[in-house]
Amino acid sequence: MPEANFGPYHIRKWFTHVEDVLANETGQPADGQPVRRIVVAAAIHNPYAGRFSKDLSDIVAKSDELGREFGRRAVEAAGDETIQSYGKACLIGTLGEYEHGNAFLTQVFADPVRDAVGGGKSWVPSTGKVGAAGAAIDIPLAHKDALYVRSNYDTISASFGDAPRPDEVVVIFAFASRGRLHARLGGLTADEVRGVDGLR
């Protein structure tokens, strides 16, 4: 088993991906500020790879440390932009279980990320899958304070070249500075958010 190098975890590699979307798919210039989308991810050794365990606390217990670092990296990548949307995901190497990836994504991990990006009243949309190195994953995004904001339902796709290795989990958090360009399907708008119950 690799030696721990970040709290109780062995992280082989950090990833940060930033994109600024200046126009929509039909070439319409941004209606306001461009969308900055950010993906922060880490390829982490899976201590349960190749075996079954009822107890997954080796992953969950200290994942708040991971969350703080994910949050720090997200804010750094955002620069002067405010983070408005978020989502999370996991890619589990082929010796692991989907449940191992989910163990990294609990509230213990997510709450420090929420704190770093200015709070978050809504639950964090999530997905994951087992896959080989280079597998692509679509990470869902939603408004961090109000799930009913339709304009902020979005997706960012990512893949990670040499990860996950069979005994790794790639833990992923994605962010956006605003909703989709030229969203025009009605509903609650971002400037109407009350941020009280995570829905509105």
DSSP reduced 3-state for 1: coil
Q: Where are the domains of the chain?
A: 11-192
Cβ atoms of 88 and 138 within 8 Å: the answer is: no
Dihedral pair phi/psi, residue 104, rounded to 5°? -75, -20
Cβ atoms of 40 and 16 within 8 Å: the answer is: yes
pTM given for the model: 0.95
Dihedral pair phi/psi, residue 72, rounded to 5°? -60, -45
Q: What is the pLDDT of residues 102-145, one digit of tens each?
A: 999 999 999 999 999 998 999 999 999 999 999 999 999 999 99
CATH class held by domain 11-192:
alpha beta
**What single DSSP character describes residue 68?**
H
Residue with tokens 């833990």: 171
Cβ atoms of 167 and 95 within 8 Å: the answer is: yes
Q: What is the pLDDT of residues 60-81, one digit of tens each?
A: 999 999 999 999 999 999 999 9
Contacts of 123 (CB under 8 A, 6+ apart): 147, 198
